[in-house]
Amino acid sequence: MTFNPNGTLIYDIVGSKPWEVSNYKDSSFEANEMTIIDGTIRSVNVVYAQLIMRIGGYSVSKIANDMGIETPLEGYPAIGLGGLTTGVSPLEVCTAFSTIADYGVRHNPVAILKITDKDGKVIEEYKEESKQVLKPINAYRMIEIMQQVMLRGTGTKARLDDRPCAGKTGTTQEVENAWFTGFTTNLCASVWMGYPEVNKKMGLIHDMVVVGGAHPAMIWKLFMERATINLPAEDFVRPEDTVIDLQIASNPETGEIFVPNRFTPFDQISTKEFRYGSEPTVQASIKPEDIPILPNVTLMPMLEANNILYQLGYTHVEYINERYAEVPSGYTIRQEPMWDQPVERIRKIKVWVNP
């Protein structure tokens, strides 16, 4: 599945204020389509916002609970980006990631393994309870993606030099919380930075902004280098059962199958089983017939620009004052996104105006 990784999205949520999503530092990308895999590796908020609106927040809440997140989670769309009413603990996050690391088997955390008397006689011993909550091959696919996070994505500062590792960065709005959680084949650890009693923006530390890929990632690396020094360096192993469930689309005329994108009609999408590595890779052609082409609304009166955008269904328009002597007062100067391209109506349009 592919999504547009650029721009700001605004979703109208029933019973709540509109949900506005943009990328960190409003970063943009050359391509207008990005896979979920690349969106994960590069921590692209806009991609995940579109994904969560497609699959629903309650599905995410259920899987998170199965994997080890015990804090009650509401099914709001913001859950897809870690937007929670009640925050989760590093222990919960670590439990969930260890479920991935052990190929979908959840192990509940325990502090005391056994109690013995002075003679070594066991008085009480913990009996482990584990449960398979993810298909092993699906967990393995997640491991592969999170390995790429540390090789070429936002988690490169956490990469271990002597053994395979996988992990993911996380940073909340206004840089109030920063995370890095990762694992090797034999140890999982989670690092959180923030203020425990209140959401408060963190300042610079050592002249660096505190984001998940910076301080938490470096702390994780330092800890893991010491904690794994006497542990074997092993590779993650692909499970024997490599059958995966995959959403595919098909051409009703030719029967050709391909990977659907955000424009593929739901009635053309179905779920089929494939052997991992043999799944279709051809992307669906993008035919956004119902997506309007954004017009050029620069160098015209602001009221005229607003009327044009409103008639096309763009209701989320932000006008920004910017002095520019070359155009009359009240005229538009520039716009974002650029014109002459398909732009969905849920996206925020920014227009700069000479006051």
What pLDDT is attached to residue 286?
60
More confident site: 33 or 37: 37
Comparing CA positions, the residue from 187, 46, 48, 26 lying closest to residue 107 is 187
For helices 136-152 and 90-101, what crossing angle results, to 10°? 110
Residue span(s) of the chain under CATH 3.40.710.10 come to 2-227
Asked if 190 and 181 touch (Cβ cutoff 8 Å), the reply is yes
For helices 57-67 and 45-55, what crossing angle results, to 10°? 100
**Whole-number Cα distances in Å, 281 to 82, 146, 149:** 30, 20, 21
Spatial distance between the Cα atoms of 77 and 53, rounded to a whole number of angstroms: 6
Spatial distance between the Cα atoms of 52 and 55, rounded to a whole number of angstroms: 5
* Least trusted range by pLDDT, from 118-122, 196-200, 229-233: 196-200
Counting Cα atoms < 13 Å in the Cβ hemisphere of 241 gives: 11
What pLDDT is attached to residue 103?
98
What pLDDT is attached to residue 87?
80
Q: Which CATH class is domain 2-227?
A: alpha beta
What pLDDT is attached to residue 216?
98
Local confidence band at 1 (pLDDT 50, 70, 90 cut-offs) = confident
More confident site: 143 or 80: 143
pTM flag (> 0.85): no
Most confident of 61-65, 174-178, 197-201: 61-65
Q: Give phi and psi for 95, each to the nearest 5.
A: -60, -45
Share of the chain above pLDDT 70, in %: 96
Would you say residue 302 has pLDDT above 60? yes
Would you say residue 331 has pLDDT above 70? yes
What pLDDT is attached to residue 287?
57
* Least trusted range by pLDDT, from 164-173, 276-285, 291-300, 311-320: 276-285
Spatial distance between the Cα atoms of 254 and 63, rounded to a whole number of angstroms: 36
| Average pLDDT rounded to a whole number, residues 231-250 | 92
What pLDDT is attached to residue 251?
76
What pLDDT is attached to residue 289?
60
Beta bridge partners of 347: 9
